[in-house]
Structure 1
Amino acid sequence: MSRQFFKASLLAVALGLSAATSVPAQAAALRWAAQNDILTLDPHSQDHNTSNTIGAHIYEGLTRLDAKYQVEPSLATKWTYITPSQVRFELRQGVKFHDGSAFTADDLLFSFERIRQPLGTKQTYVSGIKEIKKINSHTVDLILEAPTPMLLTNLSNFSIMSKAWASKNKAESISDYKSKDENFASRNAMGTGPYKLVGWQPDQKVSLVANKDWWDSNKGNVTELSYLPIKSAPTRVAALLSGDVDIVTDLPPADFLKLKEEGKVKLIEGPEVRTIFFVMDQGSDELRDSSVKGKNPFKDRRVREALNLALDREAIKRSIMRGLSVPAALMIPPGVNGHDAALDAPLKPDVERARKLLAEAGYPQGFEVPLNCPNNRYVNDEQICQAAVAMWARIGVKVRLITLPFVTHSQTFQRFESPFFMLGWGISTYDALYGMQAWGHTRSSGADGNFNFGKVSDAKLDALIQQIKFEPDVAKRNAQIRAALLRLRDEHLFIPLHHQVRPWAMKPGVETLHRSNDQFEGRFTSIK
């Protein structure tokens, strides 16, 4: 017995998923594995893709994205622009929450106030909405600050929660995730979506069952869905090959070609609209735990450019990603509105110029700084960080690598305790504004800069983002996006590394849609 198969067998026994006891395919049970767990079940707390993906099975928005990523009705059946800044939504009648209670406008108004609470990181999805006025139990008017081009797409990610359930369980407020606080909504859920939560065992399993009373119908036949976070890449692959899981949505690059040649599993190849990058604390007067005292090297554009020049992205693509990455200069990937391949050519590595820039900035011998990196979130994240540390060492920047599971990594940088850290950002709206507003705009108490944990603050970038938010003319808006992306690139406000390519692997009997937003959907999936 191979070591990988042995690990997978142990895992299956622990989770009750061994081949001998697995649910027959005809019962439409599907076991889905990826490397990291959800952070919370609270639909308004953390803008984290795995948590959002599970949440989208349970909760719904006024709109949703169809199989081709186009906006279609969900909990709203119709919307009418009374004026450019007032939109009337007719809510779907007869919809029930999973406990049988009726969905009404009161739940929408409650959820709107809740998602805007400052302890969450999802305010971007209601950006531009000044207020929601209730007309009657199933009609509301959204009053906008100004015409908002991304309104309908953003609303697909605004989850509607039961007001009565939240009140009954004292979960009206979002808990302070970064301080490890929880409330009832952190580990329980009450939505209207296609699946009901059965339970969550952290780091082991999320269990869902089909909602037989859902207002819509699934395109597939999956009635039981289990999500299994398996950190070890060899163990995930072994579990797929041994039949202990049915689909893996983050196939390691090292296994891709081998599995493709062997032909034992079905592979779906496709890009992911996610960029991996490094964030620098550019707001603090002194970097935390750095050798530089009394000032912050990251405030100097020359230092940021030097760190950028030190990275050999093609080497990382070749040796670590096995070809499954697209070296990046822009902070948004192909497939997102605003991306331009002509602008997305990264700097060629230049150690000598990087050293010269550091010397000009006053650091001829370099400096020391810690780097926080997740070890279970992005494709080969820890290995990438190790390679980057070695590359930065060549220009005299001594980086102390700290690797953590993403749940701890995320809490650390959200407490502003990481002066330098890796982050990945998927563009769920397929428009550049979503990312730029969250991590590029100066931090505020609302949606602007709500994920800006590097304290980036650039007046020109802020002005462009404000224009992009409300510009109705497509050509003008795209020109503003281009200018903002160039500002991000040329000022080196972040260090983009690459855009991920994300193949999925599954048993031959599984049929599903590959989603470039990396959000597996049970409603589009069948198994036999």
Structure 2
Amino acid sequence: MRLPLLLTTALSAAFLAAAPVLFPAPAQAQEGKTFRYAYRVDPASLDPHALAETFTLSWLGQVYEPLVGRGKKLELVPALATTWEQPEPNVWRFHLREGVKFADGTPLTADDVVFSLQRVKKDGSDMAYTVASVTDIKKVDDLTVDLVMAKPNPILPVQITSTYIMSKAWAEKNGATAPASVKAKVENFASTNANGTGPFMIASRQAGVKTELVPNPNWWGEKSSNVDKVVFTPIQSDATRVAALLSGEVDMVYPVPQQDVARIEGNDGTKVIKGSELRTMMLAMDQHRDELQNSDAKGKNPLKDKRVRQAIYQAIDMNAIRDRIMGGTSHIAGTMIAPGINGYDPKLDDRAAPYDPEASKKLLAEAGYPNGFTFTMDCSNDRYVNDERICQAIVGMLGRVGLKVTLNAQTRSKFFEKVLSRDTSFAMIGWQPLSYDAHSTLQDTMNTPVEKVGTYNVGNYSNPKVDELTQKIEVEVDPAKRNAMIFEAMMLDKADYGHIPVHQAGLAWGVRKGVNVVQRSDDSLELKWVSVD
């Protein structure tokens, strides 16, 4: 029996260098409406399996598609699969949409799905965690694929909503059968070229400068946008990005710095759309090395001591960061998951300990560091809202309790390359579960790093009980039991000061009046829903 959303509907409700022109633009792309928008950075790669970064995956979601998608309210919706079911407890069967074609006209078949998911599991992929539970991928027939697991995984469909399907023939023809890892600085044809089944396709691209997209004439979906051409421009400078909107150079910019909201709202031709992020910013601390890198604490790693981690926690004034840097728009986080993520419990969201610099000094003295110690903090300067300013503030706050921290702020490409190889002592990083479920946060940022899990656990936090609970949560179908285990695991990390959650930032998109967009709390702009008056 084929049911459109089956078990996952209930779960989703409860959880919630210049590249060549790829394809000639359709004739109508020279007519109709043009939508011009800017974000602070460019996609890190066009390879859909190269980097698990929210913006890159969101942007590529205009060109590539998953088996299971997300709607305007982040609900599960059919995408390349129209229905899915569990014929056996450890098997998920996906029935593919008939008549789907890639942008180059090649039909989508089960062979493409099998190839793509096998590619996701290869070395170099940053998306392997989304199918970590899958042990085998089987073609049943041309339009049916089985994903087999060693043990039941009731939430698999919510885990793969950003796991994109590629053309096997195209990848083989162009030498792109393996992922081109951004972290390892690997590139292949898929890094700079794309061929998906999505509503748009890339007409031309100058990496870091401008990308033009046009509607994919082969797209299976019903067109709801009146846009016939999209021009995307990365503009890193906040001031330049806002100026481009106010001058009419672009139709939309995001994110909008809090200090510019009133200016945009006061302009007759523009407005600001506001919301809240699902991404939690956090501080990761090296709890693995026996000697802390770039530190005068020779032969020791102070961050292994819970007292030191708590001292860092209590030295940071989160209220000041919210009020002075985030303009009062952020939600101070007491836990590693945001409101709106399945498994969130407001009882978890209280801070583990109050801001108290004097308590920090006492804890450092008790741990044997009355005069503090030196270390380096890694931070991006172009990835998250006010990222470098937040890190500068934290460095200053830690300095007031005797911790002498050197800030290493870099562009996101260099930042991710460094911290994801765990070449860091102390770093600020963000995580938004692609599944919108707490299990992803546990598996990917808190589980002991091993094989394809713990990828974003850059501080190597390790608690065997958290690992055990994470495995149980993945297979538990009873929501009450599942939420109880999520609560327990999150409390263990909190008690360990394994991470320091910072906040969830506010969302602010600036748009020209007459431009209609749908703002989702995952900060994803879907071009298929954009219309221009």
Partner Cα separation in structure 2 for residue 243 and residue 427 of structure 1: 35
Q: How is 1:247-326 mapped onto 2 (pairs within 5 angstroms)?
A: 247-262=252-267, 264-326=269-331
Whether the aligned pair in 2 keeps the contact of 1:123 and 1:450 (CA below 8 Å) is no
Q: Is the 2:102–2:218 contact (alpha carbons within 8 Å) kept by the matching residues of 1? A: no
Aligned to 1:12: none
Query: Would you say the 8 A contact 1:118–1:445 is kept in 2?
Result: no
Q: In structure 2, what residue type is equivalent to 1:454?
A: G
Which residue does 1:415 correspond to in 2?
421
Alpha-carbon distance in structure 2 between the residues aligned to 1:152 and 1:24: 35
1:281-430 paired onto structure 2 within 5 Å: 281-346=286-351, 347-430=353-436
| Alpha-carbon offset, residue 318 of structure 1 | 0.8
Q: Secondary structure at the match of 1:503?
A: strand
Q: How high is the TM-score relative to the length of structure 1? A: 0.93
Output the CA distance in 1 between the equivalents of 2:128 and 2:186: 19
On the 8 A contact 2:212/2:232 being kept in 1, the answer is yes
Identify the range of structure 1 (82-91 vs 181-190) with the bigger mean alpha-carbon deviation.
82-91
Query: After alignment, is 470-479 or 338-347 more displaced?
Result: 338-347
Kindly indicate whether the alpha-carbon contact (under 8 Å) linking 1:279 and 1:422 is maintained by their aligned counterparts in 2. Answer: yes
Q: Aligned residue for 2:468? A: 463
Provide, for residues 468-513 of structure 1, a one-character-per-residue CA deviation record: whole Å limited to 9, x for no partner.
1111111100111111111122211111111111111100011111
Judge conservation of contact 1:200–1:207 (CA < 8 Å) in 2. Answer: yes
Residue identity in the other structure for 2:244:
A
Looking at structure 1, the residues matched to 458 and 211 of structure 2 have their Cα atoms a distance apart, in angstroms, of 29
Q: 1:24 to 1:39 in 2, by over 3 A?
A: closer
Question: Could you report, residue by residue, the CA deviation over 1:199-232 in whole angstroms, capped at 9, with x for unpaired residues?
Answer: 3322222221110120002322222222221111
Q: Deviations over 1:64-88 (max 9, x none)?
A: 0111211111111122321222222
1:467-482 alignment runs, 5 A limit: 467-482=472-487
d(CA) in 2 for partners of 1:452, 1:199: 36
Give the length in aligned residue pairs: 505
Match 1:520 to one of 501, 518, 525: 525
CA RMSD across the alignment: 1.7
> Do the aligned partners of 1:147 and 1:472 also contact (CA within 8 Å) in 2?
no
**Residues 48-447 of structure 1 aligned to structure 2 (within 5 Å):** 48-262=53-267, 264-346=269-351, 347-446=353-452
Q: Letter of the aligned partner of 1:435 in structure 2?
A: T
Identity %: 41
**Aligned-partner Cα distance in 2 for 1:451–1:116:** 16
Q: Distance in 2 between matches of 1:390 and 1:285?
A: 26
| Corresponding residue SS for 1:307 | helix
* Structure 2 unpaired stretches of 5+: 1-27
1:117-169 Cα deviation digits (max 9, x unpaired): 23222122213222121111111222123222321112221100111111111
Offset, 1:261:
4.3
Query: Which has the larger displacement, 70-79 or 253-262?
Result: 253-262
In the TM superposition, what is the alpha-carbon distance from 1:343 to its structure 2 partner? 2.0
Give yes or no for contact 2:180–2:186 (8 Å, CA) kept in 1. yes
Deviation, 1:368, is 0.5
How far 1:417 moved relative to its partner?
2.1
